[in-house]
Amino acid sequence: MNEQINLRLPENILVAATTYSQEHGFGTVQEFIKETVREKLFDEPEVSKEELALVKQLASLAEQKNFYGTEADLFKKLKR
């Protein structure tokens, strides 16, 4: 069962959270706050689109230079 809480934030933090939520695809500030709490508690950081793009660039470069074989091989090694 979910429990509802009330949270008071200073205006500057609420504005920043709202902006961040909108820029990063969260439907509401509440969703952003829930995800942030989950990450802190369970150490499950979200991978941003920019970070994913960097990993794909690394995979592509590694494949071109034949560092790890194929992109699939590199991702298998990264998952370990």
pTM for the whole structure? 0.51
Per residue in 20-58, pLDDT (tens digit) is 999 999 999 999 999 899 888 887 566 788 888 888 888
Helix (H) or strand (E) holding 26: none
Residue pair 15/23 in contact (Cβ under 8 Å)? The answer is no
Residue-level pLDDT at 6 = 93
> Three-state SS for 29?
helix
% of the chain beyond a pLDDT of 70 = 92
